[in-house]
């Protein structure tokens, strides 16, 4: 079934092998016909994650980057849309020399060639491939057939199948193996025999259950790996390692045994810090309100949730996040506004407004920003949250009337946020935004310089350079920048030209912490390397609570 944890399982296996000193490279296969995940509604598919080269992908690649601490690119995500598009273009160019183009061999050959190309280019010891979807789904069949063919074409010890399956528990606490048996049977009918079976369930597998699965599914007992629920996903690599998964993989694939000195224990130490902190009665707990458009589905803001965890781990505190639906805050009467906000935010030490698109919930987000600014509550705005912070400042600090973003109101006389110049006339929505890693130049002696711990000048325009990931179609209108700065805000980060605004802040003399970024710092956050804006935001929230 979908949502079982294939992505976390693969990310964990990658982390384990990397900690043992092996070089790894991951590939995610998504059977949907979309070219990429960029046009998908987060309610249907969760967060859209952005890679360094601007490719918009499934949230599982975010897990890969966080767990394996790697930067991935377009070739690491393979979709049905990408494969079929490539084959159709080849057919149109006459490259198949008049052949009848079919799923086998043309589609499967394209899949195999792309997997092998990524593996060869990376120079990795192990290439990990996740096939999304569910066994039996019609859309995933070509990919399962392709790897079946690869298994026969590669050396026996160079290929290993891992199957992630569900072991449900009845109300009488009995662990049932029948779903796993049927799932493996379906795989074997396709010509695939799992080498390893990772069993997801509420609790660890009982010994007898392991033995039963091994017997009926034609694998050794040590190849049945228990993956029980855990309150911390970063503990999964340790749980799988405890089950002996790395020993089985290295033995089956005959990987060269590396020296123990090459092993990395930083992940284990990080997990232990998180575990001891959760058990502590004295650990400081801070409460953050995240005001979003998709608050009903936390996976829509998965990277934000994880970035808050990373920062909390480093600072030694706990974070409690409340997801506030922005539309709930869109009330007209002033008395209702006050009541709504005190109900929603009373007792919270910080307010975060994430990215998003469209008019729905925008006014609620603007009210949340105003609330945080006027009541001196630490605030972090991301992408759309940055743009709406500009709108709020233009309305309430610069005193402009009928101010808005041209995305939200085409008729506004003051479009303080407008369409990017290069977006004019763009018709296609997929992959056409300003996407991926771009330079940001930070002015010295600002909050942003303190956040990124940049000292001295080593960039352009008397600014220090950092690189962050972007995903936006609109930007601050440079025609209003000077007036906004006269009103009291500072654009402390820009692009190389100085015209495109990247970071907005309010001086420390006027607010304890008010920072908003056009980019998405959450995409580059790692468990042992938290994002600077998130770390600084939580530090300000801690200070706010103590005050």
Known catalytic residues are 383, 520, 522
Cβ(135)–Cβ(182) below 8 Å: no
Cβ(10)–Cβ(19) below 8 Å: no
Nearest alpha-carbon partner for 394 in 282, 310, 327, 480: 480
Question: Quick one: tokens of 279?
Answer: 């058990």
Q: Rounded to whole angstroms, how far apart are CA atoms 122 and 145?
A: 24
371's enclosing H/E stretch is helix 362-374
185 backbone dihedrals φ, ψ, rounded to 5°: -60, -40
Strand partners, 322: 289
Q: Rounded to whole angstroms, how far apart are CA atoms 385 and 516?
A: 7
Nearest alpha-carbon partner for 533 in 447, 460, 464: 447
Cβ(521)–Cβ(50) below 8 Å: no
CA atoms within 13 A on the CB side of 374: 12
Q: Rounded to whole angstroms, how far apart are CA atoms 100 and 253?
A: 37
Q: What one-character DSSP code corresponds to residue 76?
A: G
Question: Quick one: tokens of 487?
Answer: 């009103």
Start-end of H helices in 404-531: 447-451, 481-486
Q: For the purposes of burial, counting CB atoms within 10 Å of the CB of 350, is it exposed (0-12), middle (13-18) or buried (19 or more)?
A: buried
Q: Rounded to whole angstroms, how far apart are CA atoms 358 and 240?
A: 42
């Amino acid at each position: 079934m979908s949502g079982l944890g294939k992505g976390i399982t693969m990310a964990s296996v990658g982390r384990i092998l990397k900690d043992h000193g092996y070089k790894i490279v991951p590939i995610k296969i998504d059977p949907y016909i979309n070219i990429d995940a960029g046009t998908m509604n987060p309610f249907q598919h969760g967060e859209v994650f952005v890679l360094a080269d601007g490719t918009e992908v499934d949230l599982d690649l975010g897990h890969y980057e966080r767990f394996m601490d790697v930067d991935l690119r377009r070739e690491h995500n393979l979709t049905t849309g990408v494969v079929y598009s490539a084959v159709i273009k080849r057919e149109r160019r006459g490259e198949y020399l008049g052949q009848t183009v079919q799923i086998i061999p043309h589609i499967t050959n394209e899949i195999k060639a792309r997997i092998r190309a990524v593996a060869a280019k990376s120079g990795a010891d192990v290439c990990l491939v996740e096939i999304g979807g569910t066994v039996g789904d019609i859309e995933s069949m070509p990919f399962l057939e392709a790897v079946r063919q690869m298994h026969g074409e590669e050396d026996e010890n160079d290929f290993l199948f891992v199957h992630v399956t569900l072991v449900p528990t009845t109300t009488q606490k009995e662990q049932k193996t029948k779903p796993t048996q049927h799932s493996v049977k379906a795989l074997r009918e396709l010509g695939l025999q799992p080498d390893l079976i990772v069993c997801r369930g509420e609790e660890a597998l009982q010994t007898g259950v392991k033995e039963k699965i091994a017997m009926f599914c034609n694998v050794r007992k040590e190849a049945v790996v228990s993956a029980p629920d855990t309150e911390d996903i970063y503990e999964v690599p340790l749980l799988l390692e405890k089950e002996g998964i790395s020993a089985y993989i290295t033995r089956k694939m005959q990987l060269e045994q590396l020296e123990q000195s090459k092993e990395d224990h930083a992940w284990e130490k990080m997990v232990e810090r998180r575990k001891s902190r959760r058990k502590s009665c004295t650990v400081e707990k801070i409460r953050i309100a995240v005001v979003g458009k998709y608050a009903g589905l936390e996976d829509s803001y998965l990277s934000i949730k994880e970035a808050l965890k990373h920062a909390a781990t480093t600072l030694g505190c706990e974070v409690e996040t409340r997801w506030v639906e922005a539309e709930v805050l869109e009330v007209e009467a002033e008395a209702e506004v006050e009541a709504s906000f005190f109900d929603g935010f009373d007792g919270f030490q910080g307010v975060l407004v994430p990215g998003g698109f469209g008019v729905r919930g925008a006014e609620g987000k603007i009210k949340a920003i105003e609330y945080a600014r006027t009541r001196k509550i630490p605030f972090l705005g991301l992408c759309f949250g940055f743009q709406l912070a500009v709108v709020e400042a233009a309305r309430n600090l610069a005193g402009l009337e009928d101010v808005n973003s041209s995305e939200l109101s085409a008729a506004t006389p003051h479009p303080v946020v407008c369409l990017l110049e290069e977006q004019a006339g763009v018709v296609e929505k997929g992959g056409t935004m300003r996407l991926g890693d771009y330079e940001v130049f930070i002015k010295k002696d600002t909050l942003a310089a303190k956040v990124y711990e940049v000292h001295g000048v080593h960039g352009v325009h008397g600014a220090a350079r950092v690189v962050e990931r972007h995903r936006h179609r609109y930007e601050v209108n440079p025609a209003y920048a000077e007036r906004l700065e006269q009103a009291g805000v500072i654009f402390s980060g820009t692009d190389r030209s100085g015209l495109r605004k990247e970071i907005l802040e309010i001086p420390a003399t006027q607010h304890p912490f008010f920072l908003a970024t056009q980019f998405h710092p959450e995409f580059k956050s790692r468990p042992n390397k938290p994002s600077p804006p998130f770390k600084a935001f939580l530090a300000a929230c801690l200070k706010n609570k103590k005050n």
